[in-house]
Amino acid sequence: MLIPTTYPMFRVKPFATLLFFLLITTGLFAQTITATNATPADQQAIEKAVRTLFDSMRAADTAIACSVIAPNFRIVVLVQNPAQQTGTRETTRNQFLNQIASKPPQTLDERYWGGQVQIDGDLASFWCQYAFFNAGKFSHCGTDVFQLYRSPQGWKIVNLTYNIRKEGCDMKAIPAK
Contact 176, 113 (CB under 8 A): no
**Alpha helices per DSSP H over 35-172:** 40-59, 62-66, 93-101
Q: What is the pLDDT of residue 112?
A: 97
| CATH code, domain carrying 115 | 3.10.450.50
Same domain, yes or no, for 33 and 75? no
Q: What is the pLDDT of residue 88?
A: 97
| Domains identified in the chain, total number | 2
Q: What's the angle, vertex CA 153, arms to CA 98 and CA 66, rounded to 5?
A: 5
Same domain, yes or no, for 67 and 143? yes
Q: At 37, is the pLDDT very low, low, confident or very high (cuts 50, 70, 90)?
A: low
Same domain, yes or no, for 30 and 45? no
Q: What is the mean pLDDT of residues 82-100?
A: 96
Identify which has the larger pLDDT, 129 or 16: 129
Predicted confidence (pLDDT) at residue 32 exceeds the cutoff of 90: no
Same domain, yes or no, for 28 and 72? no
Residue 121 falls inside a structural domain: yes
User: Could you tell me the pTM of the whole model?
Assistant: 0.78
The whole domain housing 31 covers 8-37
Q: At 177, is the pLDDT very low, low, confident or very high (cuts 50, 70, 90)?
A: confident
Predicted confidence (pLDDT) at residue 76 exceeds the cutoff of 90: yes
Rounded Cα distance between 170 and 129, Å, is 10
- Nearest CA to 122 among 155, 144, 91? 155
